[in-house]
Amino acid sequence: MFKNYLKTLWRNMQKNKLHTAINVIGMAVAFTCSILLMVMVYNEFSFDKFHDNKSKLYKLYTFGNTPEGLDLSASMGYPAAATVKSENIGIVKSTRIRNRGGEIRYKEKSLDQSTLMVDDDFFSMFSFPVVKGAKEHPLAGIDNIVLNEKTAGNLFGDEDPIGKKVEVKIGGQWIALSVSAVLKDAPLNSSIRFSALARTEADPSYAELKNDWNSQHHSVYVQLAANTTQAQVENQLRNFTKKYNPTDVDFLKKKGYRQDANGDYTGMKILPIEELHFSAALGTGNSVSKSFLYILLLVAFVIILIACFNFVNLNIGLSFTRTKEIGIRKCLGAGKRQVWMQVWGESFITVLASMLIAIGATMILMSGFNKLMEAKFDISLLYQPSIIFYLVVLLLLVSLIASGYPSFIMGKLKTVEILKGKISLKKPGIFRNALIVAQFVIAIVLICTTVIIYQQFQHLRKAPLGYTTESLVSIPLKKYEKGKEIVSKLRTMLASQSGVVSITGSDVNLGMGQDNSTSRTSFGFDYNGKSIGTDFMAADYDILKTLNIPVKQGRDFSTSYVADSSTSVIVTESMAKQLGEGNVVGLSFYADSSKPKWTVVGVIPDFHLYSMYEKNDPLTISMNSTSFISYALIRVNTQNPTATMDIIKNAFAQVQPGEEFKGSYVTENIDRWYTNEKRLSSMFSIASMVAIILSCMGLFGMAFIIIRQRVKEIGVRKVLGASVSGIATLVTKEFIKPVIIALVIATPIAWWAMHKWLQDFSYRVDIQWWIFIVAGVVAVMIAILTVSFHAIKAAVANPVKSLRTE
């Protein structure tokens, strides 16, 4: 019997090549998209789940209910980690993690690798296995350092690194440390990544800042005690905050801060480490939004759904061309169950073939998918038990959805009616039209979302940041402790170049440069009984000229003023407003009572030093001699950016011989800020294209079936005088109505979905009405072009031949 069913399946495939191709190719494309997206989602959701203590690991953060919304920060002062551990609030372990340094050397070999400054609890909290050296307390001594396998291999080769002395550059100073252990490289799905680990106390700045709560520059991770919940610890943190970091409630009220459900204006909370990868504000730079992942799952689902709709529609249409075969089988004793099994079995084999093709296509396309999504997914993910289970469930579910209804319809047909030829599908069915409507609802929604996501991405890239991003070059400086000297030499060497307008330096990069590094420094102090909070930026002469930022009051830093290199500061308008003075130029105040007063020499408009995702906080710019310059910023005026970059590169090579040049234009750096949006835009563009192609394939096949069943009717109409255009319009109109209905349904859905998505952005585009009109027109035109081929072909056919054939 099974052999007979296979023969029947093969004959039907041979007989209906077009529809078989549409079904197999359509399902294979849908499965391929679904598998690729599922692999991506699986990988993202697996982040930080490899830690043995994951259910007890949290990241400490502060919050503030500002007038602009909830403001989150993971930056802490040095005392925080030890204090939360000692206060008996349910925290048994804690570690600071601060990204410091940029170079490690051993003998004559040097590596551009940063060092994480951590505490000894780090190793018992996180699951990074020791492969060589001290397994218990690898950082027991302040003079110890731990390397990962890759760094140890690059630095020592085949030599045993344990006990060897290496030098690490931290805070501009070379510090000798002894290698005590080698850790296994952190997996790709780890939010915490490292090349080397050293004790926090080894940082040259530690002694000066160890008791300073306001100097915030690192993250703190904690491990909760057994049988202690997040809610319990957060409740204890309310009292902890009041004790160690009290706030002026009256001042916060005046600034517009709001109370939360607990009555707090500001405070501390903890974030589960399993949620760290999904928090843009508190993550480690490789975060991704959960809504983005859910959108990917939704896209995978709707693409599968469209392919299933095609399968159902085509199978229903083709099933009614096999009524005589089914009737004869029933006469020979086949029951409903056997008919159902035959029809479902044929569909299952078709779906299985599509699945196998899709798995092969996934393996081939994985590298290209990685490039598109700027990811590093491995083909081995396909062998994960959860992925295999997903594929099996998907296979069974799709086969049931795609063939269950046609199988049910064929199984319940009466034998007598079948043999008398009373079964037909000459009238358009409600179910068939409903599926066409559903297909185009999905396609139109995807078209609209693609356009809006692209507009938002372009808005983020091109939105005015408050300074001129074009024709501005950023160069990371490896020897940042000599940053001011390097910038001065570059200024002298490039002074004769007409294409170079001005040169300055900063400790903050503009955008994400080729060093893939970003930093943010903030601090607070009291002034006239008020709590002042500000971001900090170290800079060099001509910072405003180079960034092309207008001066509201005062002036730029200048070599004409000696004090500019020590105590002068430039503040943004929001910082000036905090100081509460009318004209703050000339105002002197203490930001740190142990250091000289700062004097305001200029006031500038607020500008976006960081991405459009981050709150635009008050900013203080200083030329403090103790601050390092990590980036050279060069304003150019040229019609040949490549040639100008080569000139800058040659000058850099003379100033810093042997150092790698990682200069880039700031516009490129800003693009790197919005990698996820670029990925989302690309993904939706492809998804929309796939959805439209699959919808068109289904409509094309369905039109062929319906028109084939109306050949006699069309022949009679032609004999009675109907024109070719009249017949083509009559046939096409039947398929256009569902598309117009789909537009009416899809418009509010697309608007609602995009309105909700845009709420995540502080700076967002407005949804334009014309997007929905264009999407509708595109969908209607595509439907007309798809159906018109068969409609015109049927209309121009010889009616004599069609009537004789019938």
**Do 101 and 114 touch, CB atoms closer than 8 A?**
yes
What's residue 335's pLDDT? Answer: 56
Element at 65 (helix H, strand E)? strand 57-66
Q: Is the pLDDT score of 561 beyond 80?
A: yes
**Backbone dihedral region of 227: left (phi > 0), alpha (psi from -120 to 50 degrees) or beta?**
left
Residue 181 pLDDT grade (very low, low, confident, very high; cuts 50, 70, 90): very high
**Given the structure tokens 């693409």, which residue do they identify?**
303
Count of helices and strands (H, E) across the chain: 24, 24
CA distance 397 to 394: 5
Return the minimum-mean-pLDDT range out of 288-292, 584-588, 697-701: 697-701
**Do 795 and 714 touch, CB atoms closer than 8 A?**
yes
What's residue 503's pLDDT? Answer: 93
Q: Is the pLDDT score of 119 beyond 90?
A: yes
**Do 148 and 182 touch, CB atoms closer than 8 A?**
yes
Stronger pLDDT, 37 or 116, i.e. the higher one: 116
State the average pLDDT for the chain. Answer: 82
Extract the tokens encoding 35. 């598998």
**Do 74 and 60 touch, CB atoms closer than 8 A?**
yes
Residue 806 pLDDT grade (very low, low, confident, very high; cuts 50, 70, 90): very low
Residue 330 pLDDT grade (very low, low, confident, very high; cuts 50, 70, 90): low
What's residue 717's pLDDT? Answer: 76
Q: Vertex 184, ends 179 and 187: CA angle to 5°?
A: 140
Extract the tokens encoding 766. 């407005």
Q: Is the pLDDT score of 238 beyond 60?
A: yes
Whole-angstrom CA distances from 545 to 484, 609, 636, 800 are 17, 16, 12, 84
**Backbone dihedral region of 53: left (phi > 0), alpha (psi from -120 to 50 degrees) or beta?**
alpha
What's residue 425's pLDDT? Answer: 44
What's residue 499's pLDDT? Answer: 85
**Do 633 and 575 touch, CB atoms closer than 8 A?**
no
Q: What is the mean pLDDT of residues 773-783?
A: 84
Q: Is the pLDDT score of 635 beyond 90?
A: yes
Q: Could you tell me what percent of the chain has a pLDDT over 70?
A: 86
**Backbone dihedral region of 248: left (phi > 0), alpha (psi from -120 to 50 degrees) or beta?**
beta
Q: What is the mean pLDDT of residues 350-370?
A: 86
pLDDT in tens, 65-87: 877 677 888 889 899 999 999 98
* Number of Cβ atoms within 10 Å of the Cβ of 41: 18
pLDDT in tens, 87-97: 889 999 999 99
CA distance 281 to 427: 57
| Residues found in the chain | 806
SS3 550: coil
pLDDT in tens, 449-477: 888 888 887 887 777 888 988 899 999 88
Q: Is the pLDDT score of 805 beyond 60?
A: no
* Number of Cβ atoms within 10 Å of the Cβ of 573: 17
Q: What is the mean pLDDT of residues 767-774?
A: 88
CA distance 551 to 258: 33
CB under 8 Å, gap of 24 or more: what pairs does 170-174 form?
Answer: 170/100, 170/101, 170/115, 170/117, 170/198, 170/202, 170/203, 170/204, 171/100, 171/101, 171/203, 171/204, 171/205, 171/481, 172/204, 172/480, 172/481, 172/628, 173/204, 173/481
For residue 123, what are the contacts with CB-CB under 8 A and spacing of at least 6?
A: 130, 137, 138, 139
Residue 121 pLDDT grade (very low, low, confident, very high; cuts 50, 70, 90): very high
Q: Is the pLDDT score of 25 beyond 50?
A: yes
Return the minimum-mean-pLDDT range out of 283-287, 446-450, 546-550, 700-704: 700-704
pLDDT in tens, 191-227: 898 999 999 999 888 888 888 888 888 899 999 999 8
What's residue 79's pLDDT? Answer: 92
The alpha-helical segments, DSSP class H, found in 157-285 are 206-209, 230-244, 249-254
Q: What is the mean pLDDT of residues 682-706?
A: 75
Q: Is the pLDDT score of 627 beyond 90?
A: no
CB under 8 Å, gap of 24 or more: what pairs does 763-766 form?
Answer: 763/459, 763/460, 763/463, 763/612, 764/456, 764/459, 765/452, 765/455, 765/456, 765/459
Residue 415 pLDDT grade (very low, low, confident, very high; cuts 50, 70, 90): low
What's residue 91's pLDDT? Answer: 93
What sign does the CA torsion over 25, 27, 28, 33 have? positive
Residue 428 pLDDT grade (very low, low, confident, very high; cuts 50, 70, 90): very low
Stronger pLDDT, 732 or 342, i.e. the higher one: 732
What's residue 427's pLDDT? Answer: 47
**Do 304 and 30 touch, CB atoms closer than 8 A?**
yes
- Across 620-634, 706-720, 786-800, which has the greatest mean pLDDT? 620-634
Q: How far is CA 301 from the centre of its chain?
A: 19
pLDDT in tens, 269-320: 999 999 998 887 788 767 777 877 888 888 888 888 888 877 777 766 666 5
Whole-angstrom CA distances from 287 to 13, 42, 195, 290, 748 are 48, 15, 20, 9, 31
Q: Is the pLDDT score of 405 beyond 70?
A: no
Residue 127 pLDDT grade (very low, low, confident, very high; cuts 50, 70, 90): very high
Q: Is the pLDDT score of 632 beyond 50?
A: yes
Extract the tokens encoding 383. 């062998």
